[in-house]
Amino acid sequence: MKIGYPCINRSIGCRGNRTFRLGSYSEERLIATVRENLACLAETLSYNVRHNLLFFRMTSDLVPFASHPVCSVDWQTIFADELLQLGDYIRENRLRISMHPDQFVVINAKDPGIVERSVRELAYHTALLDAAGLDTSAKVQIHIGGVYGDKERSLQRFIREYERLDERIARRLVIENDDGRYTVRDCLRVHEAVGIPVLFDRFHHEVNSSGETVRDAVGLAAKTWTESDGILMVDYSSQQPGGRRGTHAATLDSDHFALFLAESAPHDCDIMLEIKDKEQSALLAASLAAGDGRFVRPPF
């Protein structure tokens, strides 16, 4: 079990997700931004290693506009050395890596243009992980997509589009239960059809449940990951007290997290803390998990 947080570290003073407006695009601007983002990513991973936070979600903004037609820069070649160094560092320190393209990626859209843009975006994500030389335990997580008034047909459309994907993309993809459309059960059905692993989102399973206990859902999702996929990834959050239903908590609820540790045993998993205060909650979660037999400790 490794614990981590998404994209940004709030305490080290740099941000690895710098971007700019499309109207400001220039090759120089893009290259300078990617250089800055990669340097900050290296700093962030160093912080994570020092604090034994061994799971990390890389930002999709590392290469701004990477899948947009305006992007003519061959960033994979220009930054080949930096990306390989990044991959070496990740391997040497046994970090687990994920990425999470945002809401615009909809593989099962009815509009072929949306599907095409989504595939381009996925190709960017996988190209980045490939360029770093990471194995297929580094994952790209997406949702099944839209319902369009007919969940069954839309689910089948996801399956069809998934089967058409380039193998280099497909082998990195995992699907996650979302907060209002596709449940864990829906994801498991897609898994049964095409073998894609299911990432379990603890909070979404609360707001959009298909009825399984957390313990059962973790067990079912865990079985969808093969050896080359690595162990189950989990997104963890809880309801913000007093907030609208579905609002992520601002800080970690220690008791709730401890309960999840108990409920998820004995299945090993890596846990992503989707809490607003990022690494602060991850540090607290790691301390709470320190007594758990699954938790990976530093080698010293």
Partner DNA sequence: CCCTGTCAAGTCACG
Partner DNA sequence: CGTGACTTGACAGGG
Q: How many amino acids of this chain bind DNA (CB under 7 A)?
A: 40
172 is written with which tokens?
A: 């990195």
d(CA 297, CA 139) in angstroms, rounded, equals 22
d(CA 108, CA 105) in angstroms, rounded, equals 9
The span from the first CA to the last CA of the chain, in angstroms, equals 17
Binding to DNA in span 12-31, by CB under 7 A = 15, 17-24
Mapping DSSP to helix (H, G, I), strand (E, B) and coil, where does residue 230 land? coil
Per-residue binder mask for DNA (CB under 7 A), 68-97, x = binder: x-----------------------------
Query: What's the chain's Rg over C-alpha atoms?
Result: 19
- Segment interacting with DNA (CB under 7 A) among 38-46, 57-65, 83-91, 126-134: 57-65
Please give the angle made by the CA atoms of 56, 59 and 65, to the nearest 5 degrees.
Answer: 160
- Nearer Cβ to DNA, position 100 or 172? 100
Nearest CA to 184 out of 223, 137, 153 is that of 223
When binding is defined by CB under 7 A, the residue of 1, 90, 106, 190 that contacts DNA is 106
Per-residue binder mask for DNA (CB under 7 A), 120-159, x = binder: -x-----------------------xxxx-----------
Report the nearest approach of DNA to the CB of residue 147 (Å): 3
DSSP assigned state of 298:
P
Are 161 and 107 in contact by the 8 Å Cβ rule? The answer is yes
When binding is defined by CB under 7 A, the residue of 78, 114, 231, 258 that contacts DNA is 114
When binding is defined by CB under 7 A, the residue of 274, 283, 286, 295 that contacts DNA is 274
When binding is defined by CB under 7 A, the residue of 51, 168, 171, 181 that contacts DNA is 181
Residue 151 burial by Cβ neighbours in a 10 Å radius (0-12, 13-18, 19+): middle
- Nearer Cβ to DNA, position 105 or 220? 105
- Site membership for DNA, residue 161 (CB under 7 A): no
Nearest CA to 198 out of 179, 210, 185 is that of 185
d(CA 95, CA 56) in angstroms, rounded, equals 7
**Chain residues in the site for DNA (CB under 7 A):** 8, 15, 17-24, 60, 64-68, 102-104, 106, 109-111, 113-114, 117, 121, 145-148, 179-181, 244, 246-248, 274, 276
